[in-house]
Amino acid sequence: MRGWSPTSCFFPTPSPGGPTTPRRRAELAALPFTEQDWLERSETRSVTGEAGYTVLEKLWTRPAAEIITMVAGDPVGVTRSAIPAVASATISIRTVTGQRCADVAEQLRRWVAETISEAVDHRLTVAEETMQEPYETPQDLPALEALVAAVEDGFGVPAGRMGNAGGGPAELLARELGCPVMFFGTGLPEDRWHDSDERVSIEMPVNGAATLAYLWQRLA
């Protein structure tokens, strides 16, 4: 979803599900990444999650479930000695290649039904209208090599293959248009994407526009 730093840019392609292939692991391991740099720039306390995978593999090759909101009682003000009658939470689930949104939604329904006590009245709403099937850009697509070269021309640094933790309607576009979809990143970890204080370094979209110009030439 994001680029890396003002002095190095790597374009993302949605990552495969299932076991991470040796080729994909080698591509991610080749990126100039350190866990400490990630923690500082993303303002993160620690890195946890699925065992056996690196931070970048967790970010771009594995499914994820994130609690986006959680509300109960009075979130601000004086503490009240009252048990909230109602609580709510919003969960965002990232699917990867090899999964289907409908199957994951059914798994979630089963987990809620089997886990939450019958003593608690609860309701699960799945926002099916926002479901987006996972998509992976074909790794042998010749245009990818053109994009690698265009990124290096546009940003003036070596380029590598990242991943994309949010591909939007890529699968729908590829299916309806009958052609593959590619991505390249123009954001930074410190841009706080989607937050109230989101920002952008002007250098990034400017270099991104240059990348597109170089890409058209190379595709021709």
Distance CA 92, CA 88 (A): 14
Q: Is pLDDT at 13 greater than 70 in this prediction?
A: no
pLDDT digits (tens, 9 = 90+) for 92-113: 998 988 899 999 999 999 999 9
- 94 Cα distance to chain centroid: 8
* β-strand partners of 87: 72
Which of 144, 131, 133, 219 has its CA nearest to residue 180? Answer: 144
Please tell me the pTM assigned to this model: 0.78
| Residue 18, pLDDT score | 59
Residue 88 phi, psi dihedral angles, 5° rounding? -145, 155
Q: How confident is the model at residue 4 (pLDDT cuts 50, 70, 90)?
A: very low
pLDDT digits (tens, 9 = 90+) for 65-77: 889 999 998 878 8
C-alpha angle 181/187/190, rounded to 5°? 145
**Considering only 1-10, 13-22, 61-70, which range has the smallest mean pLDDT?**
1-10
